[in-house]
Amino acid sequence: MVAETYACGMAGPGDPPAGTPEGVPGGGDDEYRSVVFDESFIRAARIQEYSARERLDGTARAVHVRRFWSRGGAPRQALILVLLIAMAFGTAIYLGIRNPYQQPATPAADQLRITLIPLAPTGAVPAVAQGQLFAGSPAADYRIGAEGVTLPPAHRTGHFAEDQVMQALTSAKDYLVASAIDPGALTGGDVRTVRTLLAPGQLDQFDRSLERPVDDGRHAATGWLVRFDPTRIKLADEQVRVQGGMTVSEVGDDLLEVVTDHTLVYAVRDAGGAASAASLFTVRRELRFRFDRDDLRDRHVELVQSSTEAGPLSCTTPSVGYFQPLLAGQQAQARTATDPFNHDHQLTSVCGVLAPEVSVSPQASRTAASPAAGSGSATPASP
């Protein structure tokens, strides 16, 4: 680039703007005067550049004047860049709101299968003395609360490490405690702990079971957890007596299965009477859990089967939403005869007879079903 420097509007073609510099010969005939410049001269000068055409043509004014407004290209480029960034950001927000891509589907999970067997007493429900609620009951020697849910030794299986097996057992215990021992869940209160433990694929079924429980083998709230109608029943003692056990096995390359079988005994009384007599309510609960590797990683459970025997209950009172125990002095209502040839009536769940030694007196017959863990299944009452 060729640049030419010249002074404009000065006293002479070579006069510096601030006068002749000190120490420089001042004579007008000095041969060096035209080539001596001081700092003020240089600052006052303008730089002009030859254009390509002017350098080739050799015109008289072979210079290209650089003006201040010609430097506006940089601000314009910055403005364009800012506009492009703003457009990209706005487009990202718009696409995010519209969300044309579907969210990842919730992992599939088996639906829970539920069996509920109410156990009706053969006579009036006996009262138990305050301070000795479990005295004389088979549950007198049971452990209290979570201490009654003991874990078996964890061993490595063909496809699962020992710590994974232990995680499956621990998750099953956590669910048992949250769903059948925690006082809040028992009295119809907060069930978020139970819900948090479930695999995401079972949450819809769980929510529907609590919001609209029905006796269809899939949507009974009492299949998921033990809970009492808080308007009728309150706990006479929050220390639930528990006994039972659990087993773990591998049922596939990617599945562990834990089966729990526990008997839980509760002391209950009428919620409307402060001085009401207490009685015992017994639940035998067998649960079957499945765990894949995602469940173990996320500490979730898949509850695939729930079988429950509970009493004393009336076979004519629904137990799908809450357990409504028969209290001290109450008797089960007699069941009406059913004509199996009449297809107008709705089929109902099976009903069992509570063992007399559990609900009436130790001297009574032991031919009926007892909800003690490990006992046989309930004896169905006539339909």
pLDDT of 366: 36
| Separation between Cα atoms, residue 307 and residue 261, nearest integer Å | 9
**CA angle centred on 166, ends 162 and 171, rounded to 5°:** 150
Place of tokens 């009428």: 270
pLDDT of 275: 76
pLDDT of 367: 37
Q: Which residues contact 295 (CB under 8 A, 6 or more apart)?
A: 171, 199, 301, 302
Q: How far is CA 307 from the centre of its chain?
A: 26
H-helix or E-strand containing 287? strand 279-291
Please check whether residue 64 is in contact with residue 49, taking contact to mean a CB–CB distance below 8 angstroms.
yes
- Under the phi-then-psi rule, with left for phi > 0, alpha for psi from -120 to 50, and beta for the rest, what region is 322? beta
Please check whether residue 194 is in contact with residue 205, taking contact to mean a CB–CB distance below 8 angstroms.
no
pLDDT of 3: 43
pLDDT of 91: 83
**Helix residue ranges, H only, the chain:** 39-44, 52-57, 73-98, 162-180, 183-186, 192-197, 203-211, 221-224, 293-298, 356-359
List, for residues 46-105, the tens digit of each pLDDT value. Answer: 666 666 676 676 555 555 555 544 555 567 777 888 888 988 888 877 776 655 555 555
| Separation between Cα atoms, residue 156 and residue 50, nearest integer Å | 86
pLDDT of 18: 57
Instruction: Round the CA-based radius of gyration of the chain to a whole number and report it.
Output: 45
Q: Which of 160, 195, 186 is nearest to 301 (CA)?
A: 195
| Separation between Cα atoms, residue 296 and residue 227, nearest integer Å | 27
Domain ranges across the chain: 3-66, 113-359
> Which tokens belong to 249?
């096995």
Which residues in the chain land under pLDDT 70? 1-52, 54-55, 57-74, 96-108, 334-338, 344-349, 357-383
pLDDT of 59: 55
Q: How many CA atoms lie within 13 A of 380 on its CB side?
A: 6
pLDDT of 193: 93
| Separation between Cα atoms, residue 362 and residue 244, nearest integer Å | 22
Query: Given 3-state DSSP classes, what are the helix, strand and coil percentages for the chain, each rounded to the nearest 5?
Result: 30, 25, 50
pLDDT of 136: 86
Question: What is the reported pTM?
Answer: 0.68
pLDDT of 75: 74
> Which tokens belong to 76?
């314009």
3-state SS class at 78? helix
> Which tokens belong to 244?
């039972």
